[in-house]
Amino acid sequence: MEQRLSLITLGVTDLERSRSFYADGLGWTPSTLGSGEVVFFQAAGVVFGLYGRDALAADAGLDNSEGSGFRGMSLAYNTRSRDEVDAVLALAERAGAHITKPAEEAFWGGYSGYFADPDGHLWEVAWNPGFEIDAAGHVRLPPDP
């Protein structure tokens, strides 16, 4: 198996509300590809998808009777500068996100905060001085010593 991530799909309770949050609120451009039951966004080298929570659970062969509270994961958006963290968190809040942790200096030497989208999916917004972001938006880890 190649070491890569192709697609991240979030199960959402209201597809149109979530499409609006990401497209209208955060300014992301949805792809025209999709059946009306899924919304795709190109996110640098990864595709980001929104799919009805019940439909996603059924597709995976799972029961959707649970699903509230902490999900044990977060998504992350790395910024090119420290100041951009505050700007992105403010944009997310204006779009309807709940700020779960305002930005602050991080123990690992960067600056970060968190928001939850309308379905409670956590996003970390972080500036990491050790990560390079190329012109296409791809994050590059530093070479091993």
pLDDT band at 141 (very low <50, low <70, confident <90, very high): confident
Q: Report pLDDT for 70.
A: 65
* pTM for the model: 0.82
Say whether pLDDT at 65 is over 80: no
Q: Report pLDDT for 66.
A: 63
Cα(112)–Cα(120) distance, integer angstroms: 18
Closest CA to 74 of 131, 22, 116, 26: 116
- Give Rg (Cα) of the chain: 16
Residue 122 CA: distances (Å) to CA of 32, 70, 96, 100, 114: 26, 9, 13, 8, 7
Higher pLDDT among residues 133 and 1, named by residue: 133
User: What domains are there in the chain, each with its CATH number?
Assistant: 1-63 (3.10.180.10), 70-138 (3.10.180.10)
- Per-residue pLDDT tens digits for 67-126: 556 666 789 999 999 999 999 999 999 999 999 999 999 988 999 999 999 998 999 999
Cα(60)–Cα(42) distance, integer angstroms: 23
